[in-house]
Amino acid sequence: TGPTGPVGGADGVRVEGVRVHAFSVPTDGPDGAEEDGTLRWEATTAIVVEVQGGGRTGVGYTYGDVSTAGFVASQLAPLVTGGDALAPAALWHRMRAAVRNAGRPGVGAMALSAVDIALWDLKARLLGLPLHRLLPAVHDQVPVYGSGGFTNYAHGLLADQLAGWVEQGIPRVKIKTSRRPGQDAARLSAAREAIGPDTELFADANGALSRKEALYWARRMAGEWDVRWLEEPVSSDDTAGLRLLRDQGPGRLEIAAGEYGFVLGDFAALLQAGAVDCLQADVTRCGGITGLLQVAGLAAAHRVDLSAHCAPAASAHAFCAVERLRHLEYFHDHVRVEELLFDGVLRPVGGALRPAHDRPGLGIRVRWADAEPYRVHGHRPG
Ligand code: LGT
Ligand code: MG
């Protein structure tokens, strides 16, 4: 795994190079195409960025399309190469300023996030520190919720997946709903039966409902299945609609959104509208570690908790530094991809991920040989 001790006199270490890889890993079957064609999820593409400096390599990643890898290579790599390897936030500002015409949200934000995470991982490795110890951590572990429950699962698979998390000691689980609302009552009953009365049940509508439909389902979900969290009942662009759900929906049902927050203004808009009971942020979309620390401050200023969306391996470290931490999404598809691509991925213990104190950076290493068959961009190093 290479050297792990601190580099003598890390001052003056420069970023010597950036390498970009993309791996497209087929889904394990049931997450495949919806027959209505609105969601075709046949593979998950991880964009992995390596930054080198001072004899160390930092690793970051995001989930997106192979175009995100191209954006890193063409737009961002030249900006950080030669930069101060101990100043990831300064390089973040340099990247953000430079991509204003290419586009800061969307692909630009995912690319920037992957590079930023790699730069923070590199800095931690140069200093011989686990990343969470380098960050202004206020927690040493992050509670998780199990997340999957895709709408095209057979009830048996849905029940097995949810019960598996409960058996692992995870006290809250999330399923997808609302894409085919006619099937949701039976699915919610199957889910509640599988997890018993004491596990919290969350639902993610992925913005599929109108405001009136969402209000109807919010009341039913809370009343009949004790659902505690309804994510994106309407589109997260509809901040007034989310606010309406908060104001008129059942008191015990929290409204959550934020996974499509790419720039700080996206989060400010949700918070200023009073749109969410709990904000979500994805460290691989919202500007990496540097961006997430900004979102965490904004959430604290609005006295709203923050929950991690997806990408558990990076989120476990980053969210230790979130004062108003709620929990982290232990998302089955990313767990599968991260365990395939990386050594050192954490498993939940007692319902939480606890980053190690004796492994520098994110504590992960790319499993090059196993990743290689899935490569869609870049070349194997060495
Ligand atoms: O919260 C989640 O995990 C989901 O919303 C996922 O992010 C994903 O399924 C969603 O982005 C989608 O449907 O593409
Ligand atoms: Mg979601």
Domain interval for residue 67: 17-128+366-377
| 97 and 163 fall within a common domain | no
| 259 and 238 fall within a common domain | yes
285 falls within a domain: yes
Whether ligand 1 lies within 6 angstroms of the CB of 309 is answered as yes
| pLDDT the model gives residue 8 | 45
86: left (phi over 0), alpha (psi -120 to 50) or beta: alpha
pLDDT at 33 over 60: no
pLDDT at 41 over 80: no
Distance 220 CA to ligand 2 centre (A): 20
pLDDT at 331 over 90: yes
| pLDDT the model gives residue 175 | 97
| 359 and 371 fall within a common domain | no
Distance 132 CA to ligand 1 centre (A): 26
| 337 and 372 fall within a common domain | no
Task: Pull the structure tokens for residue 294.
Answer: 């900004």
Q: If you take atom 13 of ligand 1, which residue's CA is the nearest one?
A: 206
3 falls within a domain: no
Whether ligand 1 lies within 6 angstroms of the CB of 331 is answered as yes
Say yes or no: ipTM exceeds 0.90: yes
**Number of Cβ within a 10 Å radius of residue 323:** 13
pLDDT at 100 over 90: yes
How many domains is the chain built from? 2
What is the three-class DSSP state of 202?
strand
CATH number for 110: 3.30.390.10
65 falls within a domain: yes
CATH number for 164: 3.20.20.120
| 109 and 184 fall within a common domain | no
| pLDDT the model gives residue 39 | 63
11 falls within a domain: no
Distance 209 CA to ligand 2 centre (A): 14
| 218 and 317 fall within a common domain | yes
Task: Pull the structure tokens for residue 78.
Answer: 């030249």
4 falls within a domain: no
Distance 212 CA to ligand 2 centre (A): 20
| 190 and 99 fall within a common domain | no
276 within 8 A of 249, measured Cβ to Cβ:
no
Whether ligand 1 lies within 6 angstroms of the CB of 259 is answered as yes
| pLDDT the model gives residue 382 | 82
Q: Cα–Cα distances in Å, from 376 out to 24, 108, 320? A: 6, 19, 33
| 157 and 280 fall within a common domain | yes
Whether ligand 1 lies within 6 angstroms of the CB of 254 is answered as no
Give the ligand with the smallest distance to the CA of 308: 1
| pLDDT the model gives residue 7 | 46
**Number of Cβ within a 10 Å radius of residue 228:** 16
